[in-house]
Amino acid sequence: MTEDSREGLDLNLLEEEPLSIRVQRKPYSVVMRTPGDELALVAGFCLTEGIVDAPDEFTNIAYCDGSDTNVVTVTLTPSRRDAVRRLLDRQGFVSQSSCGICGKTIIEDLHQIVHPIKGDTALAVNTACTYLTTLSDHQVYREHTRASHAAAIYDAHQSLLTVGEDVGRHNALDKAIGKLFLDEEIFRAAVLVLSSRISYELVQKAARARIPIVLAKSRPTVLALELAEKLNMTIASAFGSSGLYVYCGADRLID
Residue 50 is assigned to a structural domain of this protein: yes
User: Which residues are catalytic, by number?
Assistant: 99
CATH code of residue 77? 3.10.20.10
Same domain assignment for residues 247 and 165: yes
Residue 108 is assigned to a structural domain of this protein: no
Q: Note the pLDDT tens digit of each residue in 194-237.
A: 998 899 999 999 999 999 999 999 999 999 999 999 999 999 99
Tell me: pLDDT of 173 over 80.
Answer: yes
Query: What pTM was computed for the model?
Result: 0.87
Q: Note the pLDDT tens digit of each residue in 13-47.
A: 888 899 999 999 899 999 999 999 999 999 999 99
The whole domain housing 72 covers 17-101
Q: Note the pLDDT tens digit of each residue in 61-112.
A: 999 876 678 999 999 999 999 999 988 886 555 444 334 445 555 556 666 6
What is the average pLDDT value for the chain, to the nearest integer?
87
In this predicted structure, what is the pLDDT of residue 14?
Answer: 80
Same domain assignment for residues 82 and 193: no
Look at the chain and report how many structural domains it folds into. 2
Same domain assignment for residues 163 and 245: yes
Tell me: pLDDT of 1 over 60.
Answer: no
Strand blocks (E) in the chain: 17-23, 26-33, 58-65, 68-76, 93-94, 123-124, 149-154, 160-166, 191-194, 213-216, 234-239, 243-248, 253-254
Tell me: pLDDT of 174 over 50.
Answer: yes
Same domain assignment for residues 59 and 134: no
Residue at which a domain ends, from 71, 101, 131: 101
Residue 115 is assigned to a structural domain of this protein: no
Residue 206 is assigned to a structural domain of this protein: yes
Chain-centroid distance of CA 244 in Å reads 21
Residue 52 is assigned to a structural domain of this protein: yes
Residue 143 is assigned to a structural domain of this protein: yes
